[in-house]
Amino acid sequence: MAKYDVAVIGSGPGGYVAAIRCAQLGLKTAIIEKYDVMGGTCLNVGCIPSKALLDSSHHYEDAIKHFEEHGIEIPGDIKLNFKKMIERKASVVDQTTKGIAFLMDKNKVDVFTGMGAFKDATHIEITNGKKKDTIEAKNTIIATGSKPSTLPFIKLDKDRVITSTEALSLKEVPKHLLVIGGGVIGLELGQVYRRLGAEVTVIEYLDRIIPTMDAAQSKELMKAMKKQGVKFNLSHKVSAVSKKGKEITVTATDKKDKEVTFKGDYCLVSVGRKPYTDGLKAENAGVKITERGMIDVNDHLQTNIKNIYAIGDVVRGAMLAHKASEEGTMVAEIIAGQKPHINYNLIPGVVYTWPEVASVGKTEEQLKEGNVEYKSGQFPMRALGRSRASGDLDGFVKILSDKETDEVLGVHMVGARVADLIAEAVVAMEYRASAEDIARMSHAHPTYAEAVKEAALAATENRPIHI
Ligand SMILES: Cc1cc2nc3c(=O)[nH]c(=O)nc-3n(C[C@H](O)[C@H](O)[C@H](O)COP(=O)(O)OP(=O)(O)OC[C@H]3O[C@@H](n4cnc5c(N)ncnc54)[C@H](O)[C@@H]3O)c2cc1C
C-alpha cells in the first residue's frame, strides 16, 4: 500500500495548490480527483470558462455596438458563431486543466483518478469503475468543493431549467433567459447572453443585487446593466418554475404579495452553491459535518479529527477560488510545522461583469452596523481621462477610512478593470495604509488607477483634484 505524508481529496484551486505547497515543503503528497480532468469547479465549470465567455461576448458587443464610434467600419453584417465561441471556451479550459496535470508532474505529486472515500482516519479508498486502490496518509486535506444549489420546488432538467454548469455549454443563445438570483454567477452569465442577443430578466428575492457587497456598488451595477437592456425584478420571491415544451414559466410574488409570472425559453437557477461531501464517507474517519453539509473546522482549518483538515468551498467563508488557494497553502504550511495566517478581511470579492465590481474590507453598511466612525471618499470613473479615451464611463472608486486614524477600512469599486485595480487596495490594507498614504503615492497617468488616488484624496481631506 502506498504511504503518504499528505493526501489531498479534490483538485480544485484549494486542493491542487495545497498539493503543490505540500510538495514544495518536502512532504510526500498524493492528490485524488474523481473526474478525469483536474482543476475542479474553477477551471472546468466556474471561473475560467465564465471569464472566457465574458471576454468573447464583450468582443462581440464591442464589434456590433462600439466599433463604429471608434471609426471602425466592417463591410457586411457581423455574425455570431456561437458554436465556435463555446469551442474556444472549451479549448481555454483544456489548456488550463492540462497545466495542472503538468504542475502535479513537475512537483512529483502522485495523481489518483477516482472517488476518494475514507476507510478510517488514515486510509482512503479510491474507486474508479471496478478498480480500487487504498492509500495510507498521515494527514488528509479535504478539498471537495461545492455544487450548485437550487430551491426545493425547482426541478432542474439541465436542458432548459439549468445551473451555471449547463449555461456554460448551451447549444444556442436563449431568446429569453430568466435568471433566478441576482448574485455574481447569475449576473455574469446573464450579461454574456444579453450581449449575444438574448432578452434577460433577473428575478431576485432581496431588494438589491450582489447583496453582500457595498450597497453603492449594487446600485451602480444595476444602473449600468439596465442600460445594457437587462431587466431586474427585485424583492420577488419565486414560488414555482414550470416547463411546457420549450416554454418556461417562473411564478413569483412581489413586495405587495401580488403573483407575477415570467415566461422565457431558458431559466438559469443561480441561487448559490452548497458544500459537497457526497461519497466521501467522512463518518468512517469520524469527521463532523454540519447540518448544512459543511465540514466543521477550527481557525487552523483542522477538523475535529486532528490529522484531517478541510479547505475551500466545503468549509465556512466566501466561496472563492483565491480563498480556497490561500487556505490550501496555509494548511500545507501548518502540516510542515510553520505558523501561517490568513487575513479573511482582506480576501477581495470581484464580479466580472462590465463594468467590473471589486471590493475589499468592510462595506459602509458593515461599518455603520459596527458603530465605527469613518470617512468616505468617492471618485467617479467618468472624470478620468483614461475612461473618456476608452469610453468606459460607468462606475466609481470609494474609499472608507477610520475617522480618527485615517486607516483604510474598505475599498469598493465599479468600473473598467477594477478586478485588477483592487490589488492595490489589498496591498495598502495589508500594510495598514492610511487614505493619505495612498493619496500621496504617484499613480501613472492616464490610468483607471488614478481614481484610487483621487478617492483617497477625497477621503483624506476632501480635496480630489479632478472633480
Ligand atoms: C460559474 C462560476 C463562476 C465562478 N467564478 C469565480 C471567479 O471568477 N472567481 C472566484 O474566485 N471564484 C469563482 N467561482 C467559485 C470557484 O469556482 C470556487 O470557489 C472554487 O472552485 C472552490 O475551490 P475548491 O478547491 O474548494 O473546490 P472545487 O473547485 O469545487 O473542487 C473540488 C474538486 O473535488 C472533487 N471531488 C469532490 N469529491 C471528491 C471525492 N470524494 N473524491 C475525489 N474528488 C472529489 C471534485 O470533482 C472537484 O474537482 C465561480 C464558480 C462558478 C460556478
pLDDT tens sequence across 391-432: 999 999 999 999 999 999 999 999 999 999 999 999 999 999
Q: What is the mean pLDDT of residues 84-97?
A: 98
Residues 6+ apart with CB under 8 A from 301: 309, 310, 311, 315, 327, 330, 331, 334
8 Å CB contact between 456 and 399: yes
Residue 413's domain is classified under what CATH number? Answer: 3.30.390.30
Residue 290 shares a structural domain with residue 229 = no
Query: What local confidence, expressed as pLDDT, does residue 182 receive?
Result: 98
Same domain, 144 and 24: yes
Share of the chain above pLDDT 90, in %: 98
Residue 12 backbone dihedrals phi, psi, to 5 degrees: -75, -170
Beta strands in 184-246 (DSSP E): 199-203, 231-233, 237-244
Give residue 464's pLDDT: 83
Q: Is residue 156 part of a domain?
A: no
Say if CB 9 and CB 280 are below 8 A apart.
yes
Give CA separation, 100 vs 96, 97, 135, 220, in Å.
7, 5, 22, 37
- Say yes or no: 132 and 13 in one domain: yes
Distance 49 CA to ligand 1 centre (A): 12
Q: How do residues 225-270 score in pLDDT, each as one tens digit?
A: 999 999 999 999 999 999 999 999 999 999 999 999 999 999 999 9
User: How much distance in Å is there from the Cα of 208 to the middle of ligand 1?
Assistant: 26
Q: Compute the distance from residue 327 Cα to the ligand 1 centre, in Å.
A: 13
Given 271, 297, 332, which residue is the final one in a domain? Answer: 271
Q: What is the pLDDT of residue 465?
A: 87
**Residue the block writes with cell 438559469:** 268
Q: Are residues 179 and 311 in the same domain?
A: no
Ligand 1 nearest atom to the CA of residue 13, by list position: 25
**Do 334 and 360 sit in the same domain of this protein?**
no
Residue 466 has pLDDT above 90, yes or no: no
- For ligand 1, atom 1: residue with the closest CA: 46
Domain boundary among 342, 373, 393: 342
Structural domain includes residue 155: no
| Residue 466 placed within a domain | no
Residue 260 falls inside a structural domain: yes
Segment 35-88, tens digit of pLDDT? 999 999 999 999 999 999 999 999 999 999 999 999 999 999 999 999 999 999
* 153, part of any domain: no
Tell which atom from ligand 1 comes closest to the C-alpha of 38: 49
> What confidence score (pLDDT) does residue 462 get?
82
Q: Which domain holds residue 122?
A: 2-148+274-342
What are the φ/ψ torsions at residue 173 (nearest 5 degrees)?
-80, 125
Q: Measured from the CA of 41, which atom of ligand 1 is nearest?
A: 29
**Site residues for ligand 1, CB cut-off 6 Å:** 9-15, 32-35, 40-42, 46-47, 50, 115-116, 143-146, 164, 185, 276, 279-280, 312-313, 319-322, 324, 352
Residue minimizing CA distance to atom 53 of ligand 1: 46
Closest ligand 1 atom number to CA of residue 14: 25
42 Cα: distance to centroid of ligand 1 (angstroms): 5
For 123-146, the pLDDT digits (tens) are: 999 999 999 999 999 999 999 999
CA distance readout (Å), 447 to 416, 444, 452, 464: 10, 6, 10, 16
* 385 lies in some domain: yes
pLDDT band at 292 (very low <50, low <70, confident <90, very high): confident
Give the per-residue pLDDT at 463. Answer: 80
CA of 172 to the centre of ligand 1 (A): 26
Question: Do 198 and 169 lie in a common domain?
Answer: yes
The catalytic residues are: 445
Query: From the alpha carbon of 168, which atom of ligand 1 is closest?
Result: 1
7 and 143 housed in the same domain: yes
pLDDT of 26 > 90? The answer is: yes
Nearest residue (CA) to ligand 1, atom 2: 46
- Strands of 408-415's sheet in order across: 349-351, 356-361, 408-415, 396-402, 374-380
- Tell me, yes or no, whether 420 lies in a domain: yes
Q: Are 60 and 185 within one domain?
A: no
Most ligand 1 atoms within 8 A of CB, residue of 21, 33, 47 to mutate:
47
Task: Report the distance separating Cα 454 and Cα 467, nearest Å.
Answer: 9
For residues 46 and 92, membership in a common domain is answered with yes
Cα 426 to Cα 459: distance, rounded to the nearest angstrom: 17
Instruction: Assess if residue 286 is contained within a domain.
Output: yes
Single out the residue in 222, 254, 271 at which a domain terminates.
271
Considering the domain architecture, whether residues 428 and 372 belong to the same structural domain is answered as: yes
Do 77 and 217 lie in one domain? The reply is: no
pLDDT digits (tens, 9 = 90+) for 337-380: 999 999 999 999 999 999 999 999 999 999 999 999 999 999 99
By CB atoms closer than 10 A (0-12, 13-18, 19+), residue 64 is: middle
Same domain for 284 and 300: yes
Q: In CATH, what number is assigned to the domain containing residue 179?
A: 3.50.50.60
Ligand 1 centroid to Cα of residue 325, in Å, is 11
Pocket probe for ligand 1: among 9, 31, 42, the residue whose CB has the most ligand atoms within 8 Å is 42
The count of domains in the chain is: 3
In what order do the strands lie in the sheet containing 237-244? Answer: 237-244, 247-253, 259-264
